[in-house]
A and B are shown apart, each in its own frame.
Chain A
Amino acid sequence: MTEYFHSVTLDFEKCKGCTNCIKKCPMEAIRVHDGKATIMQERCIDCGECIRCCPNHAKIAVTDTLDILSEYKYRIALPAPSFFGQFKELENADCVLHGLLSIGFDEVFEVALAAEIVGYLVHQYIKDSKIKRPIFSSACPAVLRLVQIKFPDLLEQIAPILTPMEVAARLAKEEAVKKTGIDYEDIGAFFISPCPAKVTEMRNPMTTKHSAVNGVIGVQLIYKDIIKYIIKEKTQKVSSTLQKATKLGMAWGYVTGESKNVDASTTLAVSGIHNVISLLEEIERGELKNVDFIELQACIGGCVGGPLNIHNLFVGRVRLRELIKKCGSRPSYYTDEELHRFYTQGHYVSTEPVQPKTIMHLDEDMSIAIMKMERLDKITNELPGLDCGACGSPSCRALAEDIIRGIAFETDCVIKLREKVKTLAEEILDLARIVPPVMADSSKKTGDK
Chain B
Amino acid sequence: MLNDSFRFTPHITLEFKIGEKDFFIAGESASRVKKTLQQLGMKQEIIKRTAIIIYEAAMNVAIHANHGTLKVYIDPEVISIITEDKGPGIPDIELAMKEGYSTASHEVREMGFGAGMGLPNIKQCSDELDIDTKVGVGTTLKAKICLNNKV
B-binding residues in A (CB < 8 A): 152-153, 281-282, 284-286, 356, 358, 360-364, 366-371, 373-374, 377
Contact = CB atoms under 8 A, between A and B. Distances in A.
A364 B41 contact: yes
A373 B44 contact: no
Contacts of A373: 12, 36, 39-40
Given A281-B31, A285-B55, A370 B38 contact: no
B30 A370 contact: no
Interface of B is mostly: helix
B75 interface: yes
A360 B38 contact: yes
Complex A-B, nearest 6 residue pairs according to Cβ-Cβ distance, in ascending order = A361-B41, A370-B10, A285-B27, A366-B76, A371-B10, A369-B40
Contacts of B75: 370
A362 B44 contact: no
B31 to A, nearest CB: 6
B74 interface: yes
Contacts of B51: 284
B48 interface: yes
B98 interface: no
Given A285-B55, A361-B39, A374 B44 contact: no
Contacts of A356: 44
B11 interface: yes
Nearest to A369: B40
Contact of A363 (B41, B48, B55, B147): B41
Given A153-B48, A367-B76, A370-B76, A362 B12 contact: no
B41 A366 contact: yes
Contacts of B12: 370, 373-374, 377
Contacts of B44: 152-153, 356
A373 B147 CA distance: 18
Interface string B69-111: 0000011100000000000000000000000000000000000
Contact of A369 (B9, B34, B39, B47): B39
A284 B36 CA distance: 16
Contact of A362 (B34, B40, B48): B40
Contacts of B48: 153
Nearest to B147: A366
B55 A286 contact: yes
A370 B40 contact: yes
Contacts of B31: 281, 284-285
B40 A285 contact: no
Nearest to A401: B39
B109 to A, nearest CB: 16
B144 to A, nearest CB: 16
Interface string B38-59: 1111101001100100010000
Contacts of A374: 10-12
A369 B10 CA distance: 9
A358 B44 CA distance: 10
20 contacts: A152-B44, A281-B31, A285-B31, A286-B55, A356-B44, A358-B41, A360-B38, A361-B39, A361-B40, A366-B40, A367-B9, A369-B40, A369-B41, A370-B10, A370-B76, A373-B36, A373-B39, A373-B40, A374-B10, A377-B12
Interface in B1-26: 9-12
A153 B52 CA distance: 12
Contacts of A281: 31
A437 to B, nearest CB: 46
B32 to A, nearest CB: 11
A362 B48 CA distance: 19
A239 to B, nearest CB: 58
A276 to B, nearest CB: 16
A153 B34 CA distance: 11
Contacts of A371: 10
A368 B9 CA distance: 10
A233 B40 CA distance: 61
A363 B40 CA distance: 7
A215 B40 CA distance: 39
A269 to B, nearest CB: 23
Nearest to B9: A367
A371 B74 CA distance: 11
B16 to A, nearest CB: 14
A181 B72 CA distance: 66
A281 B41 CA distance: 20
Contacts of B147: 366
Contacts of A153: 44, 47-48
A371 B35 CA distance: 16
A371 B44 CA distance: 21
A294 B27 CA distance: 21
A205 B47 CA distance: 27
In the complex, which of the residues B31, B35, B39, B74 has the most CB atoms of chain A within 10 Å of its own CB atom? Answer: B39
Contacts of A360: 35, 38-39
B41 A362 contact: yes
A356 B45 CA distance: 12
Contacts of B34: 284
Contacts of B55: 285-286
Contacts of A282: 27
A360 B74 CA distance: 17
Contacts of B27: 282, 285
